[in-house]
């Protein structure tokens, strides 16, 4: 058994077969050669490249996990320099005049066959290590990536393992077969992680070293509560894991039941629980009967789908369809939030050193009015089909809000003049996701109809921690007290101005934080569809009076670990 640790991005358990993106899995080709010395040179180059990679993995794992866990990479280096194994392969290549990758595979198979007959479990495990090293060397020799989507074809119970997955790649994977996602890079609120959560698929990110040990076709157990991937599990381990999964599935059934009723606390306070949507799948599964609407409709997918900007008609169709599907419930459409980790190739945005601090979201929209006007016109036309609200992301000052509102008015005027139908009043809100907006929230509240807290970015910007950088994820903490104080400040300013306030970042469904959201008078939690039942269930198990005491207690604490411990013990009391 081997264990790799990462961060839990979407909780759950999965048992399945791994497909490792970018790893060689097809048959190794065999062909004749004329120059065996050139083959040796190719091998030495691949050996040096892999050796360097293992050096880096050793250091990283030692620093971030433990020396013990890092030792596997030293063991791989020993195998990589085993002249018995690779010396024989070079000899075979020269004698039979065949390509070196084929010769390596033959030698590897022979050695592995011997190891596998051994009684000693430790030695049998070494056979897998030898295979892993040989496969990697062959992969480097063959020039890297295979077509990942072809690998997935025809397989079920998939656990996708990758260095990183772009949202565009996650989107194309058949969700009915996908059991878990594991990435070596990334943070818990990367958009891939958000997508996984939306789909209710367990995901682990920042799993340092996973690519070196995971092999396509092998079984793995994914514990996305603990952020643990277990490779080569024993039958015993698999059995106890299956039991754990069964328990969890049972609990999930209880949560699922809670979906049907509104979220009302023990002392009668109702919270709206909405869903976040932002891809074709979540639009399809959207069921207005089990939620209070869509609290965040991310529109980026429309721009990431094709090779050109989506025109007004196409956007109008999508927005009006979702508004109609909502049957009168609110649909908060967020204007384009491209940039950061969401790229659109045809936009030709220059590479930036700090994309999260750069040209993204409302900054692009205000600077490129044509793109913005097209979207605003489409949204406004769709207001005739349902209860649509408009929300601007990444606000840092009042000027941006006023300018954006001015453009809404301009688009409305144009549409009316052209004879289009537009709802008479359209609520305009902003995301509070920068410390600048937090500090100005008393002023901003006077100019908008609602706030929605984008906690994914707010934690990132408050703690100066890149939400995608696995090296600093220990600082990206939803219990960070400065973040919690920020939410309190925003909520108080919204209330003072009599404005509606929601949370649409991932913390909206973070179980330990829900008591605080109720205590602070948050009107709406907008969550991944898979989290609806759990959030409603938990709200129904707490009373506003008791969570207010808890909130006061927590807000006076100084250490994050004390906050977490107190919130966890409260959760345990209410969710047994």
Interface with ligand PEP by CB under 6 A: which residues?
Answer: 189, 194, 296, 298, 337, 433, 454-457, 504-505
Q: Any contact of residue 454 with Mg ion (CB under 5 A)?
A: yes
Residue (360 or 412) nearer to ligand PEP, CB: 360
Interface with Mg ion by CB under 5 A: which range of 29-37, 262-270, 454-462, 560-568?
454-462
Residue (420 or 488) nearer to ligand PEP, CB: 488
Helix H or strand E segment including 547? helix 544-555
Q: Which does 265 bind (CB under 5 to 8 A by kind): Mg ion, ligand PEP, none?
A: none
Please report the DSSP string for 73-128 in residue order. HHHHHHHHT-HHHHHHHHHHHHHHTB-HHHHHHHHHHHHHHHHHT-S-HHHHHHHH
* β-sheet bridge partners, residue 20: 161
Neighbour-count burial of 169, counting CB atoms closer than 10 A to its CB (0-12 exposed, 13-18 middle, 19+ buried): middle
Q: Which of residues 141-180 bind Mg ion (CB under 5 A)?
A: none
Residue (433 or 466) nearer to Mg ion, CB: 433
Residue (259 or 433) nearer to Mg ion, CB: 433
Q: Which does 296 bind (CB under 5 to 8 A by kind): ligand PEP, Mg ion, none?
A: ligand PEP
CA distance 266 to 47: 64
- CB 296 → ligand PEP: shortest distance, Å? 6
One of 24, 108, 191, 365 is an active-site residue; which one?
191
Interface with Mg ion by CB under 5 A: which range of 217-225, 448-456, 463-471, 522-530?
448-456
- CB 159 → ligand PEP: shortest distance, Å? 25
CA distance 319 to 322: 5
Contact 491, 520 (CB under 8 A): yes
Residue (105 or 433) nearer to ligand PEP, CB: 433
Q: Which does 455 bind (CB under 5 to 8 A by kind): Mg ion, ligand PEP, none?
A: ligand PEP
- CB 29 → ligand PEP: shortest distance, Å? 44
Residue (151 or 457) nearer to Mg ion, CB: 457
CA distance 502 to 549: 21
DSSP 475: T
Q: Residue count at the site for Mg ion (CB under 5 A)?
A: 3
Q: Which does 298 bind (CB under 5 to 8 A by kind): ligand PEP, Mg ion, none?
A: ligand PEP
Angle among Cα 93, 97, 102 to the nearest 5 degrees reads 50
Q: Which does 202 bind (CB under 5 to 8 A by kind): ligand PEP, Mg ion, none?
A: none
Q: What tokens does 552 get?
A: 């006061």
Q: Which of residues 380-439 bind Mg ion (CB under 5 A)?
A: 433
Q: What number of residues does the chain have?
A: 576
Among 105, 259, 279, 457, binds Mg ion (CB under 5 A): 457
Q: Which does 504 bind (CB under 5 to 8 A by kind): Mg ion, ligand PEP, none?
A: ligand PEP
For 521-552, b/e burial (b = at least 16 CB within 10 A) is ebbbbbbbbbbbbbbbbbbbbbebebbbebbe
Q: Any contact of residue 466 with Mg ion (CB under 5 A)?
A: no
Question: Is 474 assigned a catalytic role?
Answer: no
144 Rama sector, left if φ>0, alpha if ψ -120 to 50, beta otherwise: left
CA distance 129 to 77: 10
Interface with Mg ion by CB under 5 A: which range of 65-73, 161-169, 441-449, 455-463?
455-463
User: What SS3 state is found at 10?
Assistant: strand
Question: Is 447 assigned a catalytic role?
Answer: no
**203-205 vs 7-10, strand pairing mode:** antiparallel
In the sheet with 219-223, reading across from the earlier edge strand, the strands are 2-5, 228-231, 219-223, 13-20, 158-162, 178-183, 203-205, 7-10
Q: Which does 386 bind (CB under 5 to 8 A by kind): Mg ion, ligand PEP, none?
A: none
Residue (189 or 272) nearer to ligand PEP, CB: 189
Please give the residue ranges that form the binding site for Mg ion (CB under 5 A).
433, 454, 457
Positions marked active-site: 191, 504
């Amino acid at each position: 058994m081997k264990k790799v640790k990462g961060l839990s991005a979407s909780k759950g358990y999965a048992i399945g077969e791994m497909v490792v993106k970018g790893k060689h899995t097809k048959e190794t080709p065999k062909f004749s050669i004329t120059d065996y010395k050139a083959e040796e040179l190719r091998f030495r180059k691949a050996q040096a490249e892999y050796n360097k990679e293992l050096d880096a993995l050793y250091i990283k794992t030692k620093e971030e996990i433990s020396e013990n866990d890092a030792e596997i990479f030293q063991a791989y280096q020993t195998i990589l320099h085993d002249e018995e194994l690779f010396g024989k392969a070079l000899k075979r290549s020269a004698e039979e005049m065949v390509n070196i990758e084929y010769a390596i595979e033959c030698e590897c198979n022979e050695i592995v066959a011997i190891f596998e007959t051994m009684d000693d479990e430790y030695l049998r495990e070494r056979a897998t290590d030898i295979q892993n090293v040989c496969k990697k060397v062959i992969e480097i020799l063959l020039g890297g990536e295979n077509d990942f989507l072809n690998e997935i074809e025809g397989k079920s119970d998939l656990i996708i393992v990758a260095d990183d997955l772009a949202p565009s790649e996650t989107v194309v994977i058949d969700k009915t077969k996908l059991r878990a996602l594991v990435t070596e890079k990334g943070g818990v609120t990367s958009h891939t992680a958000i997508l996984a959560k939306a789909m209710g698929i367990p995901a682990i990110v920042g799993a340092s070293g996973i690519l070196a040990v995971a092999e396509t076709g092998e079984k793995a157990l994914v514990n996305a509560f603990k952020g643990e991937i277990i490779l080569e599990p024993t039958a015993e381990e698999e059995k106890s894991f299956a039991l754990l999964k069964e328990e969890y599935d049972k609990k999930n059934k209880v949560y699922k039941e809670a979906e049907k009723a509104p979220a009302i606390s023990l002392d009668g306070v109702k919270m709206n629980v909405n869903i976040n949507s932002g891809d074709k799948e979540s639009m399809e599964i959207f069921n207005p009967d089990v939620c209070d609407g869509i609290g965040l409709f991310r529109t980026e997918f429309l721009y990431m789908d094709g090779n050109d900007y989506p025109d007004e008609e196409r956007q109008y169709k999508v927005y009006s369809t979702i508004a109609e599907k909502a049957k009168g419930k609110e649909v908060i459409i967020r204007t384009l939030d491209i940039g950061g980790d969401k790229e659109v190739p045809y936009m030709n945005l220059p590479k930036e050193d700090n994309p999260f601090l750069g040209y993204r979201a409302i900054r692009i929209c205000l600077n490129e009015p044509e793109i913005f006007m097209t979207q605003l016109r489409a949204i406004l036309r769709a207001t005739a089909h349902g209860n649509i609200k408009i929300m601007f992301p990444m606000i840092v000052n009042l000027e941006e809000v006023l300018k954006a509102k001015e453009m809404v008015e301009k688009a409305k005027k144009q549409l009316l003049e052209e004879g289009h139908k537009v709802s008479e009043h359209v609520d305009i809100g902003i995301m509070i996701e920068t410390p600048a907006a937090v500090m100005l929230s008393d002023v901003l509240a006077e100019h908008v109809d609602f706030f929605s807290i984008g906690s994914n970015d707010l934690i990132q910007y408050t703690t100066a921690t890149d939400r995608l950088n696995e090296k600093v994820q220990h600082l990206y903490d939803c219990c960070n007290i400065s973040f919690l104080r920020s939410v309190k400040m925003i909520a108080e300013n919204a209330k003072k101005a009599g404005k509606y306030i929601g949370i649409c970042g991932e913390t909206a469904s973070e179980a330990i934080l829900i008591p605080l959201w109720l205590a602070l008078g948050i009107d709406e939690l907008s969550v991944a569809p898979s989290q609806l039942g759990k959030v409603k269930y938990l709200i129904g198990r707490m009373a506003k009076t008791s969570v207010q005491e808890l909130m006061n207690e927590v807000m006076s604490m100084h250490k994050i670990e004390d906050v977490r411990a107190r919130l966890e013990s409260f959760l345990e009391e209410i969710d047994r």
